[in-house]
């Protein structure tokens, strides 16, 4: 098996990094949801990516990716300093409900990974005690 050299700690570490990145991306996206953009390409939405073959390189496979082709919405706000000649202001189109769901899901998954890590640590300590 090609993944036999992966330890449980490697897999848990990957899970922790992945869920932390998801929390960071969702938090950032929620933070910029109502921030006006000077132009369509100014800010970018974050997304968590993994390499296609992440299991073979599990130690380095999580990264945050700026999504350049995200959708924007135009809102009529003629008094806004960033309004164009027609009075339209550009905002990133971010579904805050989806981002909040991602935030909750990722934080729960992170907590689950921490609990698994602590259980393995406790079982290892007990195994050492038995071996004495």
pLDDT of residue 30: 92
Name the pTM for this structure. Answer: 0.76
Segment-wise mean pLDDT, segments of 10 residues, the chain, 132 residues: 66 86 90 84 73 59 64 90 91 91 94 93 90 77
Between CA 122 and CA 38 the distance in angstroms is 53
pLDDT of residue 23: 92
Residues 6 or more apart whose Cβ sits within 8 Å of residue 25:
46, 47, 48, 64, 102
CB 96 within 8 A of CB 6: no
pLDDT of residue 107: 94
pLDDT of residue 9: 82
pLDDT of residue 39: 75
């Amino acid at each position: 098996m090609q993944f036999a050299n992966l330890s449980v700690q490697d897999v848990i570490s990957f899970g922790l990094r992945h869920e932390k990145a998801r929390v960071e991306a969702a938090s950032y996206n929620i933070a910029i949801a109502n921030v006006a953009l000077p132009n369509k390409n100014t800010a970018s939405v974050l997304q968590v990516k993994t390499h296609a073959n992440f299991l073979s390189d599990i130690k380095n496979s999580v990264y945050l990716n700026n999504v350049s082709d995200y959708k924007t919405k135009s809102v009529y706000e003629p008094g806004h300093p960033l309004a164009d000649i027609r009075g339209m202001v550009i905002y990133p189109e971010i579904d805050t409900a989806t981002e909040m769901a991602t935030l909750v899901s990722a934080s729960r998954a992170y907590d689950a990974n921490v609990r698994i890590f602590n259980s393995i640590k406790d079982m290892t300590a007990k195994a050492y005690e038995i071996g004495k």
